[in-house]
């Protein structure tokens, strides 16, 4: 049995264009905000059966100043964003030796990021959108583009019933993550690339145990938790630690090892992809991790997704439906070179912090590194060079001036 979510005939007579967004994670909900502001109707297709509000799944993330500004502009609740995040005013990289002594390698006290839990940020963005635009429990199956390249049709399975439904629109947006099925349709030979290391990660809830020996020891070793992003480096591994709201610590431990069996659900193998040469085909466009799978260093994955959405919305608003091809080409020309540089830079920084081989320098050793070698550890310089520089697009969307 097949159902259709096509607009009624009287609605089709209106000039308002419609986008179908596949994927309802941070990239998808950000894209919904940006396109609604640009005057588009949107439908978001998501396989999860309900919003993740209150879910313990997911982990911490770090929002750069530009992402913070964009989110505030979309939701209109700047005070709420502050309530669900913790300040990260400092980016501190330090070496840890066998005696557990610490030596500062690089420090930035003007970091100006904020830390959030993934589910809290998603809920913040989701609740500011019309709930009727979401089709929860819909598994993407396939899509087709009309012969005249003017419309797209997406097919999905309704998980609760097993029925097939169709959703039509003027634009298909692939926000379906690093293993994107839509990207695979166009680029079947693009495969994940193993980084050489894995991550163990989690969120530790210490509410009710603030006076425990464990928390006392953690705070003694990291006295600036609550405002600092800590990166502790040792040969062959490094850890990341920072506080997120509601008395929780986000922790990650990266460890060099051969590529693991992907059936082991307790190991997060770190992958990326070589930068893509194209992220637009007719009226199909990739955003977020579908467009640039990246290693998690320099806090770029979420921030890149938010910026993708903002730039796409701006291009569509400026050009209108009649110039959709030009709008998507401009989006690609703005985002592709920047995102490609960030993917490669994140790859390089990951290998530096893990002490892995690099083509142009000796492996990094945190216990013997020079001051010049340590400069690559800080995040803010990358943000200013590779993010702020090309954002000539719209002062009303990107008022960031640092």
Q: Where are the domains positioned within the chain?
A: 2-388
Q: What is the pLDDT of residues 292-343, one digit of tens each?
A: 999 998 888 999 999 999 999 999 999 888 899 999 999 999 999 989 999 9
- Separation between Cα atoms, residue 363 and residue 12, nearest integer Å: 60
Run of H or E including 143? strand 138-145
Q: What is the dihedral of CA 258, 259, 260, 263, to 10 degrees?
A: -170
- Separation between Cα atoms, residue 181 and residue 140, nearest integer Å: 9
159 versus 235: the higher-pLDDT residue is: 159
Percent of the chain with pLDDT over 70: 89
Q: What is the pLDDT of residues 111-122, one digit of tens each?
A: 999 999 999 999
192 versus 13: the higher-pLDDT residue is: 192
The pTM for the full model equals 0.90
208 versus 267: the higher-pLDDT residue is: 208
Give 152's strand partners.
145, 169
CATH of domain 2-388: 3.50.50.60
Q: What is the pLDDT of residues 342-373, one digit of tens each?
A: 999 999 999 999 999 988 788 999 988 898 88
Run of H or E including 174? strand 171-174
Per-residue burial over 294-319, b if 16 or more Cβ lie within 10 Å, else e, is bbbbbbbbbbbbbbbbbbbbbbbbeb
């Amino acid at each position: 049995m097949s159902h259709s979510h096509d607009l009624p005939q009287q609605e089709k007579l209106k000039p308002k264009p419609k986008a179908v967004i596949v994927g309802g994670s941070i990239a998808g909900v950000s894209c919904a905000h940006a396109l609604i502001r640009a005057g588009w109707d949107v439908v978001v297709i998501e396989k999860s059966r309900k919003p993740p509000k209150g879910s313990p799944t997911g982990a911490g993330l770090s929002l750069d100043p530009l992402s913070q500004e964009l989110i505030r502009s979309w939701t209109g609740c700047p005070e709420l964003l502050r309530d669900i995040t913790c300040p990260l005013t400092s980016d501190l990289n330090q070496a840890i030796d066998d005696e557990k002594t610490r030596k500062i390698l690089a420090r930035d006290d003007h970091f100006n990021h904020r830390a959030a839990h993934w589910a809290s940020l998603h809920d913040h963005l989701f609740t500011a959108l019309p709930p009727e635009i979401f089709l929860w429990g819909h598994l993407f199956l396939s899509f087709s583009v009309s012969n005249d390249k003017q419309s797209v049709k997406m097919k999905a399975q309704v998980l609760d019933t097993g029925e097939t439904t169709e959703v039509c629109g003027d634009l298909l947006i692939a926000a379906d993550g690093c293993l994107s099925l839509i990207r695979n349709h166009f680029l079947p030979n693009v495969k994940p690339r193993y980084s050489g290391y894995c991550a163990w990660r989690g969120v530790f809830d210490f509410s009710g145990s603030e006076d425990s020996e464990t928390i006392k020891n953690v705070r003694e070793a990291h006295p600036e938790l609550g405002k600092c992003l800590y990166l502790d480096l040792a040969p062959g591994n490094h850890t990341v630690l920072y506080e997120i709201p509601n008395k929780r610590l986000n922790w990650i431990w990266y460890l060099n090892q051969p590529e693991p069996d992907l059936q082991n659900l307790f190991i997060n193998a770190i992958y990326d992809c070589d930068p893509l040469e194209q992220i637009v085909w007719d009226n199909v466009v990739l955003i977020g991790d579908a467009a640039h799978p990246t290693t998690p260093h320099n806090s770029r994955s979420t921030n890149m997704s938010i910026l993708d959405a903002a730039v796409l919305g701006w291009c569509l608003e400026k050009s209108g439906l009649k110039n959709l091809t030009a709008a998507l080409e401009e989006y690609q020309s703005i985002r592709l070179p920047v995102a490609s540089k960030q993917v490669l830079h994140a790859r390089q920084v990951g290998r530096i912090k893990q002490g892995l081989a690099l083509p142009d320098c000796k492996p990094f050793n945190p216990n013997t590194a020079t001051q010049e070698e340590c400069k690559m550890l800080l995040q803010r310089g990358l943000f200013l060079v590779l993010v702020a520089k090309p954002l000539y697009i719209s002062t009303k969307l990107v008022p960031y001036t640092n």
